[in-house]
Chain A
């Protein structure tokens, strides 16, 4: 180090006349090599390999999204008809598949492999025969949404979905074990296959 410093004044005499040192404005080149912590490999963000690949990827994403939106919106806006609406539109619905909503009445019984029960909404009752297997919450008094179609006066269903509201009530302590197993609290025979 000291040797280099000792040589420096003599060695820089001719260098001072070089255009490189003279041309640079003061303070312009303050980045320099001193503040570089490391040298690393390729950059983090690389563009996709080609423009064609980008277009294909974009088209696939767009197609998937359009399918999702189309399928979703047509289904979702009219997710179900209440039992009274379904009865009113029976002629129009004919034997098309749709979803019906109502509260399960007390007459739930097993009929072979199917469940036979009645739902009601706004005072209108609909007799249902369903091959779907409901969740453990299924019991008389609970609202359900059923997928299926009219078969005469009977709603023939292949899927039972139990609806639950936005109200939550803590189970009393002494009922905790019974309420802890929702199926156990249901009347016998309410669940298919139980």
Chain B
């Protein structure tokens, strides 16, 4: 029978308690609040202040949702690609880049779905069809399928290194699709219109331009707020996993070496398991050296 292992042999690296803030901070609250205010302004201006369009009439109001949502979808996937590149770059490699990648992919997938839904509604109103296989729509559908594949991959691969490696490569494919999707209306003939805002002289003016600009600010702030929290959440989930391992090790340790711990010093947090009754005294057992080394 092998002797019980000492804590020094089984201890995982210590996870600092303050890796990331566990709650929102004044900065994130400010970001969320400004997103809410600008979304409110967009709604007000979009529905009541800005006038109808000569060609599209009231349907033009989708202009204050759909392009901004689609652009934020692209931006989130670009951040996902940035995080993946950072992780793939050997000198920069750190879990932070991977967190940025997963946050970008998840926020991007949500905005991609929102793009498809709002575009479909607008398409039914103006074109007369919910869907058609033109280059822009097809590539957006492919992008959404890729993003779901990316998220499924992250769930399927348990080894963190392989997970980050494989998903980084899918992220590169996604950002390539984003670039082709962006230029699709210029490279091929499409039912989808070409760009209105992002060109030297935008073909939109007055309240329509102001409201469309505000929609970009609003959805930009919303994206930033979602990204910050998703990034933070990913860090917390990593910590949760690691501390779960710590707790399991501590439980196992108390099984193999039942000795009193913390007798000299009250522990700051709740103990995972009730300390076994002391047989040898308070300064022996796993807890003793920890107290001694501080």
Residues of chain A at the chain B interface (Cβ within 8 Å):
1, 4-5, 7-8, 10-12, 14-15, 18, 20-21, 23-40, 43-48, 54, 57, 61, 64-65, 68-69, 71-73, 75-80, 101, 132-138, 142, 145, 159-171, 173, 176, 179-182, 185
Q: Could you tell me the dominant secondary structure of chain A's interface residues?
A: loop
Instruction: Check if B244 is an interface residue, CB within 8 A of chain A.
Output: yes
Q: Which residues of A contact B290 (CB under 8 A)?
A: 29-30, 32, 34
Of the residues A12, A179, A180, contact of B280 by C-beta under 8 Å: A12
- Show 22 residue pairs from A and B whose CB-CB distance is below 8 angstroms, ordered by the A residue: A7-B281, A12-B283, A21-B288, A25-B8, A31-B12, A34-B287, A37-B269, A43-B241, A68-B138, A75-B133, A75-B134, A76-B135, A79-B135, A135-B127, A136-B57, A162-B126, A165-B194, A169-B53, A170-B51, A170-B52, A170-B54, A179-B53
In the complex, the answer to whether A29 meets B281 with C-beta atoms within 8 Å is no
Q: Which residues of A contact B250 (CB under 8 A)?
A: 32-33, 36
Q: Which residues of A contact B146 (CB under 8 A)?
A: 65
In the complex, the answer to whether B53 meets A168 with C-beta atoms within 8 Å is yes
Instruction: Check if B11 is an interface residue, CB within 8 A of chain A.
Output: yes
Q: Which residues of B contact A179 (CB under 8 A)?
A: 52-54, 57
For residues 200 through 214 of chain B, which have their beta carbon under 8 Å from a beta carbon of chain A? 203-208
Q: Which residues of B contact A34 (CB under 8 A)?
A: 262, 267-269, 287, 290
In whole angstroms, how far apart are the Cα atoms of A185 and B195 in the complex? 26
Asked if A137 meets B8 with Cβ closer than 8 Å, knowing A76-B133, A166-B195, the reply is no
Of the residues A15, A47, A166, contact of B158 by C-beta under 8 Å: A47
Q: Which residues of A contact B157 (CB under 8 A)?
A: 47
In whole angstroms, how far apart are the Cα atoms of A28 and B292 in the complex? 11
Q: Which residues of A contact B12 (CB under 8 A)?
A: 31
Q: Which of B51, B128, B133, B205 has the most CB of A within 10 A?
A: B128
Of the residues A15, A36, A72, A142, contact of B142 by C-beta under 8 Å: A72
Instruction: Check if B191 is an interface residue, CB within 8 A of chain A.
Output: yes
In the complex, the answer to whether A27 meets B293 with C-beta atoms within 8 Å is yes
Q: Which residues of A contact B248 (CB under 8 A)?
A: 39
Instruction: Check if B117 is an interface residue, CB within 8 A of chain A.
Output: no
Q: Which residues of B contact A160 (CB under 8 A)?
A: 128
Instruction: Check if B6 is an interface residue, CB within 8 A of chain A.
Output: yes
In whole angstroms, how far apart are the Cα atoms of A83 and B277 in the complex? 91
In whole angstroms, how far apart are the Cα atoms of A159 and B123 in the complex? 14
Interface size class of B (residues with CB under 8 A): 35 or more
In the complex, the answer to whether A37 meets B270 with C-beta atoms within 8 Å is yes
In the complex, the answer to whether A135 meets B282 with C-beta atoms within 8 Å is no
Closest residue of chain A to B254 (Cβ to Cβ) is: A33
Closest residue of chain A to B293 (Cβ to Cβ) is: A27
Q: Which residues of B contact A135 (CB under 8 A)?
A: 124-128
In the complex, the answer to whether B7 meets A32 with C-beta atoms within 8 Å is yes
Asked if A33 meets B287 with Cβ closer than 8 Å, knowing A160-B128, A169-B55, A180-B58, the reply is yes
In the complex, the answer to whether B251 meets A29 with C-beta atoms within 8 Å is no
Instruction: Check if B60 is an interface residue, CB within 8 A of chain A.
Output: yes
In whole angstroms, how far apart are the Cα atoms of A64 and B283 in the complex? 64
Closest residue of chain B to A135 (Cβ to Cβ) is: B128
In the complex, the answer to whether A44 meets B240 with C-beta atoms within 8 Å is yes
In the complex, the answer to whether B251 meets A39 with C-beta atoms within 8 Å is yes
In the complex, the answer to whether A32 meets B286 with C-beta atoms within 8 Å is yes
Instruction: Check if B91 is an interface residue, CB within 8 A of chain A.
Output: no
Instruction: Check if B1 is an interface residue, CB within 8 A of chain A.
Output: no
Instruction: Check if B189 is an interface residue, CB within 8 A of chain A.
Output: yes
Of the residues A7, A57, A168, contact of B63 by C-beta under 8 Å: A168
